[in-house]
Amino acid sequence: MKRSILGAAAAGALVLASVAVAHLTAGDVTQVSATLSATTPANVQTRTFTCAGQTFEVTTGRWTGTATSTTPDLNGATVLRVKSVYNTTKKLGWLEGRLSIRGADDRTHAGFAAVNVDGKVDGWARGNAGRGDGIVFGSLTGSFSKSGGLTDGALGAGTGANAAVIAKRADCRKGEETRPSVRLLVRGVVEDVSATSLSVKPADGSATQACAVVDDDDVEHVAPGDRVEMACVQVAGAWQLAKVRKRH
């Protein structure tokens, strides 16, 4: 039996809701909205596959920008972390990831999933609003591309494609995937770590090696002074972190 993935998009008002959320006891609901732009890329990587005569692009990366809203929880600097799967033959696909908004006092973190129809995205977001103030639910729409990030983005506003897609397995031709061919393995001690970079001093005393971080979750378990094994791949001439693990 073939396994399938169903992606569905919904449009509607963005709300802070406690209905059907077990750990919230208040019943207050407030309709809110925000516009989004996240167009500055960081550590973007695209892998291309040919499957059953069609071409797919799998893109991961991080884009930064701004969210604008009259609601403080949704107003401020924005970080969009995305994994996009896009069929360039049919101009259909989907994306999923995390959205963070850092306001003056509060932060909002939400996961999202959306359908991509010829660059137009329509999906749904859910997460935590502010410092435990509530739960955020609502529509996420806009335009997305691997080169331009998210433009004309909207939470709880705008118009979407109102689309659904079914993605099924297909046989991919071996050798048609574009993979990084240059790799780096470093065993040593962490000198510096941040949301964008990891630096390790090799145990043999040679020069410190630094690799860009795509997702800061990959390095949240390491700190300066830790003994680690760091694996990196070369993407567009720069080292990018593939994996890091502690050594004992």
Q: What is the CATH number of the domain that holds 209?
A: 2.40.50.140
Q: Considering only CA atoms, which of 167, 140, 168 is closest in space to residue 152?
A: 140
User: Do 73 and 162 have their domain in common?
Assistant: yes
- Report whether 135 contacts 128 (CB < 8 A): yes
Question: DSSP secondary structure string, 25-54?
Answer: -----EEE-EEEEEEEEEEEEEEEEEETTE
Residues 95 and 47 in one domain: yes
Place of tokens 């859910």: 126
Distance CA 218, CA 196 (A): 10
Residue 191 and residue 144 in one domain: no
pLDDT at 9: 34
What is the band of 205 on the pLDDT scale with cuts at 50, 70, 90? very high
**Can you tell me whether residue 223 is helix, strand or coil?**
coil
Share of the chain above pLDDT 90, in %: 43
Of 137, 168, 199, the one marking the end of a domain is: 168
Beta partners for 234? 239
- pLDDT band at 134; cut points 50, 70, 90: confident
What whole-number distance in Å separates Cα of residue 102 and Cα of residue 49? 36
Task: Note down the domain range covering 238.
Answer: 183-246
Residue 12 within a domain: yes
Specify whether 137 is located in the same domain as 40: yes
Rounded Cα–Cα distance for residues 45 and 192 (Å):
23
Out of 168, 191, 216, a domain closes at: 168
Do both 18 and 141 map to the same domain?
A: yes
Whether residue 71 is contained in a domain is answered as yes
Give the position of tokens 């996009």.
Answer: 84
Using CB atoms within 10 Å of the CB of residue 191, give its burial: 0 to 12 exposed, 13 to 18 middle, 19+ buried.
middle
Residues 104 and 37 in one domain: yes
**Do 112 and 235 belong together in one domain?**
no
Residue ranges of alpha helices (H) inside the chain are none
Q: What is the pLDDT of residue 6?
A: 30
Domain end marker among 168, 192, 216: 168
Give the total number of structural domains in the chain: 2
What is the tens place of the pLDDT at every residue in 60-118? 999 999 999 888 888 999 999 999 999 999 999 999 999 999 877 678 888 999 999 99
pTM, 2 dp:
0.63
| Residue 176 placed within a domain | no
Is residue 177 a part of any domain in this protein? no
CA distance 246 to 228: 4
The answer to whether residues 118 and 236 belong to one domain is no
- CA–CA separation, 155 and 80 (whole Å): 13
Reduced to 3 states (helix: H, G, I; strand: E, B; else coil), residue 217 is helix
84 lies in some domain: yes
Q: Are residues 97 and 162 in the same domain?
A: yes
Decide: 94 and 85 in contact? Cβ < 8 Å: yes
134 and 196 in a single domain? The answer is no
Q: What is the pLDDT of residue 18?
A: 33
Residue 138 shares a structural domain with residue 213: no
Nearest Cα to 229, choosing from 248, 208, 211, 246? 246
